[in-house]
Structure 1
Amino acid sequence: MSSSQSGIGFTIRLCPFLAVILSAAKDLLRSQRPPTNTGPSDTGISKALATYATMPSAKKSAPKKTTNKSAAKKPARRATPATASKAVDKQLARYRSMRDFGITAEPSGGPQNKQEALPFCIQKHAASHLHYDFRLGWNGVLKSWACAKGPSYVVADKRLAVQVEDHPMEYGGFEGIIPAGQYGGGTVMLWDQGTWEPQEGHADVDAGLRDGSLKFILKGTKMHGKWTLVRMGGKAATERKPNWLLIKEHDDFERPPDAPAITEEEPNSVVTKRSLEQIAAQEDHVWNSKDTAKGKAWYRQDKKPLAVSAKAQKSAPVATSEPVKRLTFDSILKHLTPESQPSFIKPQLALEAEAPPTGPGWIHELKLDGYRMQARKDGDKVQMLTRSGLDWTHRMTSIADAVRALPVEKATLDGEVVVVAENGTTTFADLQASFQDGAKHPLTYFCFDLLHLNGHSTRDRHLVDRKDLLVDVLTGADPTVLRLSEHLETNGEQMFQHACALHAEGIISKRSQSTYVSSRNGDWLKLKCLHEQEFVIGGFTLPSNGIHGIGALLLGYYQDGKLIYAGRTGTGFNQKTHRSTRDKLDALATSQSPFAEIPSAARKGAKWVKPTLVAQVRFATWTAELQLRQAAFLGIREDKPAKEVVREDAAPTPKRSRTQPAKAATHRLAPKAAAKLSLPKEEDKAPVRLTHPDKVLDTESGLTKQALADYYWAIAEHMLPHIAGRPLSLVRCPEGVGPPCFYQKHVTAMLPKSIATVMVPDKKGGKPEPYITLESRETLAGLAQMAVLEIHPWGSKNDDLEHPDRIIIDLDPDAAISWSTLSEAATNVRKRLKKLGLESFLKTTGGKGLHIVTPIDPTQDWETVKSFARNIALAMEKTSPNLFLSKMTKSARVGKIYVDYLRNERGATAVAPFSPRARPGANVSIPLAWKELDGSALPKFGVTDFAVWRSRLKKDPWKEILALRQKLTTEAIESARSMK
């Protein structure tokens, strides 16, 4: 990706659909600014498959005079294909001569005498993402950094450069392609080259690499002057690969912020003057990454088969007499979690947002207007499953055939089935016509995620890693049927504006480092250029011209179990949809209005129907009366039950904390419609009085005060045994999740009278203080009125405060720790406790960690129990110091699991079983069976999903914890001190 200081400037690998939109965007932006010399013409880029295009900035100031000599050079003439190939041969030979094969091992290299003239090169690399590989020759290898935006002559620009593995010296002279499916697969350009030397006073390069500070001078064709590479600290230091910053220093070569970017000013090869598209088309040199260690990984090919025209590709796929080669992915699968291929995986869904997220760590995809589908391949059996798990394979056999031909044995893909219109956008109306009317519109499956591969789960890997792997899985797929849904790493706001200007559906923004979670959460955000959603059809009017069709549809959505009238639409129908929609509605005729309320004007001429049919509708906005404005019918949806249709709308920006400085909001989320627990029994309705029961406490899940009260009421039977009769600390969030919440442990006059009091002396035996405690189901449900989102009990009971009856080991993992590693750690704790004669129980924390809880008879004091837990933590740390940590220091937790034993001191608390957490999503701390550690990911259960997971309470894994009698013996205490 390349980006200028002042504008959008993003680059993407194109597919036919995206090419149309981005090619048009280039024309739109160029018409808004004076012409500039941006290098060779890119005419015809919208027809290119799997190549690259750059969208220049919308506005650029006139460049100031600069002393950079390279800026004044005239563009050199491009080399012919023959001379270009020879030039690359010469470069490869030159770089090959710079190292001693007898000394240097590939790919990481070995010691070699330092040369007087040290080489450097920058390769423009179009792999899964366009980036620039910055390489410094040192000790016989190329020390390498991947720089997404490329270098900048602007001193204020600090370009992220991720250090990657050392590359062989010979690779520095390479320009050509790396085959798909291999490491770094894509097109490689030798963008610049020359020599480098350490700056005066910074000659110890080895020390600079070790300490994270390199200062050097570049003498290249495009790059000159003083530069610095500095390794980042803080959160960046926790990344899997070291993050550095590439910075231009002050000298005669620096440029002002409004000068043209060197990457845009000189985009082509320094050796052959070719563009990326020309290099990809010629394919004169090929580098096989898998053969790097053999000494000669590249070969030259002078004759390339003629490309098949786009028209021919659409009409008939190229036949081959050879079977598709199966990809084994052996080196990758060993890093993935083994699992039996799920029959269906509940999809991850996006929250509606009003503004795109800002800052790093987000990727953006164009929103497609089609059917969300999961493709499941198991050998030769392929299923195309809707978002609710319905099998629609018979409706899209061409896509199923393309998935069947993929070079993998087992795979589960996530994507969208669409019909691509002539203007490059997707059209739901044509898609619906294909399914319902048999219209001949070709279907295309855009894949944006990979959920399972050859007996292994990929869902716990980062999104960008899953998409990189997806590129390999789609190798050789028929591009007219099965395509990768590409993404951009750029300014989300500018991308959204241009997507809307070009009549795209909108964008989907996703956290690049997120795992796949089968729920709706803030890791995926959807932004629609035009409002569009599903509505339930509750009635219709007859057309005025007497045809067998529709005058207008009467639309609604569900709220609190009632169908709310939302307005009407009378446009968007054609002859076929007039007739087919009318036929469907006639079969659902009823005499009563299904709407809770409806204006008298809307009743005139209405024909009521049973509210089971769902329509896709596009509209301009909502009116102040929450009625649709300028609505148009797009088609009937068959993949979504009517009862799931709720009003979607973007919410205002949450209030900022007064204790924090104002800053730009990252994104503005739409609250899910006020959540209901859908509890099957009337007695599960909490009989408590609430003010503002519809107040949303968590925008991500849509949790309301009423839903929270209903949950506490329903879960009380299972939760009360673990919190009743104990001092409690409550986490209250009056403004909901997001704004500051606070703990409350003391009883005050402001609390409801139903909350009981237990007098607790302080640690020094001073004056007792009134602590919160509770006993009843009604009191638990009443906590919702105070917006209590977490309940934390003591480890001892009111009648014996000084002797704990539970030992808690809290495993708090760093974000880099995998689920399998965390599971093994929990098993480790369980085994250690068993050796000491103690049975233990497991639960999630509602966050990213696990609690191992051991019930004991209350015979030992707090200090003894804390010392016992501390010795277990120290033993784990001593056995595996690279994995476990027993100290609280956050800076030392990188890549480790903090074994927290401090929950076992007087006054400390831990979140209760079945308690929600005051975090986005309102997940619950849930008891687990030990066998659940064998799953593919950390189990998550939300309050608003209670109706889904309620059935697991029939086999409560903590059922025996209250009846189990075991003592923390003197022998166990002594054994823990010497445990290894």
Structure 2
Amino acid sequence: MATRRKGAAKPSTQATPADAIDAQLERYRSMRDFDVTAEPSGGKKTEAAPQGLPFVIQKHAATRLHYDFRLGWNGVLKSWACAKGPSYVTADKRLAVQVEDHPMEYGGFEGIIPKGQYGGGTVMLWDEGTWEPQPGHTDVDEGLRTGSLKFIMHGTKMKGKWTLIRMGGKAASESKPNWLLIKEHDDFERKPDDPAITEEAPNSVVTGRSLEEIARNEDHVWNSKETATGNAWHRNDQQSKSEKPVTTAGAASKKSAVRAGAASNNAASNNFEAELKKTPKEKLPDFIRPQLASQATKPPADKGWIHELKLDGYRIQARKDGERVQLLTRTGLDWTHRMKTIAAEVAKLPADNFLADGEVVVLADDGTTSFADLQAAFQEGIRKPLTYFVFDLLHLNGHNLRGLPLLERKAMLAKLLHESGEFVRLGEHLETDGATMFRKACEFGAEGIVSKRADSPYSSSRSSSWLKLKCIRGQEFVIGGFTLPSNGIHGVGALLLGYYQDKKLIYAGRTGTGFTQKTHAKLRDQLDKLRQSSTAFEKPPAEARKGAIWVRPELVAQVNFSTWTADNLVRQASFQGLREDKPASEVVREAAGTSPKPRIPKHADPAPSAEKAVPSLASRNNTGEGKTQHAPIRLTHPDKILDAASQLTKQQLADYYWQIAPFMLPHIAGRPLSLVRCPEGSGQPCFFQKHASNMLPKSLESVEVRDKKTGKIEPYITLSTQTALAELAQLGVLELHPWGSRNEDLEHPDRIIIDLDPDTAIEWQTLAASAAEVRAALKKLHLESFLKTTGGKGLHVVIPIEPEYDWGVVKQFAHAFALSMEKQNPALYLTKMTKSARAGRIYIDYLRNERGATAVAPFSPRARPEANVSMPINWSELKLPERPTFRVVDFAEWSSRLKRDPWKRLPATNQRITPEVLSSFKISA
């Protein structure tokens, strides 16, 4: 049988399971290089726990079927053989026999070990991912020595907290140490009658194949006798006809597909002479000012455009001159020393000299890019593999290519990168409809797209021949000041942001979310060195001056935000990281322009207007009619019923959160949150969760809050993105309860809630009239208020205020106001919680206005039968004959009301409780 040694190119262009295993083997082989992995290199120990360590579990049909449990540590795979495989039931203690360490490369193997050799049989990659020690148990070497290893797993099948305990007694005298693999209590544990994970997900995590299919195909063979030589595996080119292309999700499959596509150029020569004849000669430039894309509001509809995914990273030019390689930032800074692995890959490319343009990114498991992860890799020393996507070729072997059409330059680039390594890749494009590409990119979770004219030359300027469209708004801002955190930690409360206009620094708002514990301290240290007594902003408003510490405007922050307000301030801003590649003086406001007008035939149908596009939010109903706008997130058991009364499924809940996010986020983003989680649905036990942990999705953020009683600092859950909100469905979150203050100023609330909680005997008309009375009483105090249902039987009257008083003052005001209502009509209102006194009356709950108290968020479902929504309503709706109710499953029926959201003005309503009002209630501020 013909065989092919590892590393040889496969002529097929289709991504098969064998391609995916090639990718795995190459990936695990690369983990031996400590420059590109998070593994410790065996040097001096540090107190910091390692992050992103690899693990793999291989299902192994040898003498008997078992599971090989392997944790990457110190450049090898620490290995245990587990006969029954892992169990999510905490009472199960699965025997795990420790065997010899395996080479890191073996962690990517799926295939056959010949009979008669050690481990002879069929091997499947059953699961893979990363692991990390549990907090407080970060000394892994000590845990291995003493026989107690506690860790957290982030795999496709294996998640949460686990423990390996070495057995004593007779087991300690065995030839190979016997351990027990035990699931610890957390959100992922299962009941004894739940399906076993080994039965629920029996096939390969990479290729989706069964053991029988792997054995039948025999596409990869591991020769155990050659393990020590590093040349143990080979691939069989002659595969079974039953082998099909890979369809399973996973980063390895995606990566192999990219390589397989590049292999289609296998017949092409690396001889560029023919293409270079028509280009002018020049000396290799030291650096070329990069071409920049103009912001656009919609993709070009005309022909002659190509579209690339917009990457969230650092713009880098790769310059090769003989044996010398340089990696240059967008301003020409030499960052070669910071990306040694990429530089080594660039050095191998088959050209004497060239200059290429591209982007360095950190790839997430789902194929998206994250600037926050990239910044962590550069700034915080967190080891994350960097990938260089090259999308243009500017100079090659003494010739200027910049006058060639873009597609010709990219064709030459594809040949140059034909055999590039894992960390240098071609930035591919699609010649498709721009609107479709943009929609799919946003659904995929990408930052957006860049549309380029296929025939355009390369121009060192911001040009309309390159257009960028962002799914998430984001740009660089200059940091002109900061505030101190309210919890007393060494960090920042909020960053004060700005941009330059006519050489003046214009205030653009603030951001108090997106920080990690490391960035808190690091930012504070950097900002303290830049302090100055006066502001660099041009006439900053009072909102900017409050609590501000001014700094020299030298640091540049990358910030994501939802939109610009009418006051030209960023809304729902989230810090992503510092940009070292762009000077502060170049930061301007990015204004979305318009795309070039397409040439429309005379009788063509006009494009739908934005107003007509709004009903797409209501594209789904109980009968399944219309198009389904699914949230672009991964769900397990999407058909699981979370509310029996309305038959609400997990998928429906995720879709609801995704579509309601633009309306809900303004009221919850950037605030500590308490979540009501109902993993088994509203009819089963539910629980509150307010603390962040490693068990939660990465899209959820945390804010550090100091406990007033103990002084202990605790991480509270917070969020700021549409994706984070949608991913709450996977956790079974049926209620969201935000604080009345924001993360950047926790001790000064900006909302007051008057909760009208009626006895069941109170009719709707009476409750509605009471809410109207509360509104009238607030108007006398010159306070505007907003109304919403609670999703239950009550109403909330919400008063937005300037965050100038602490919780004690605000609670006193709410209490005094409630007492005034009770005094006005004691037969109807009461302010004490006593249940027995509530008969026939309305309890005015003012206790929502103390530190740490929360109230259900607007648009949040309730964890009650029918899953009704806490809905913002117009004051005029108090005249309805019956209490208005809105169920999540009926979203298609009521979503049209979002066009006239009665709470749209609430975030921008700036009003104060005047000293005179406080004095009238005998409250001292």
For the aligned pair, the TM-score class normalised by the smaller chain equals 0.3 to 0.5
**TM-score, normalising length from structure 2?**
0.37
**TM-score, normalising length from structure 1?**
0.35
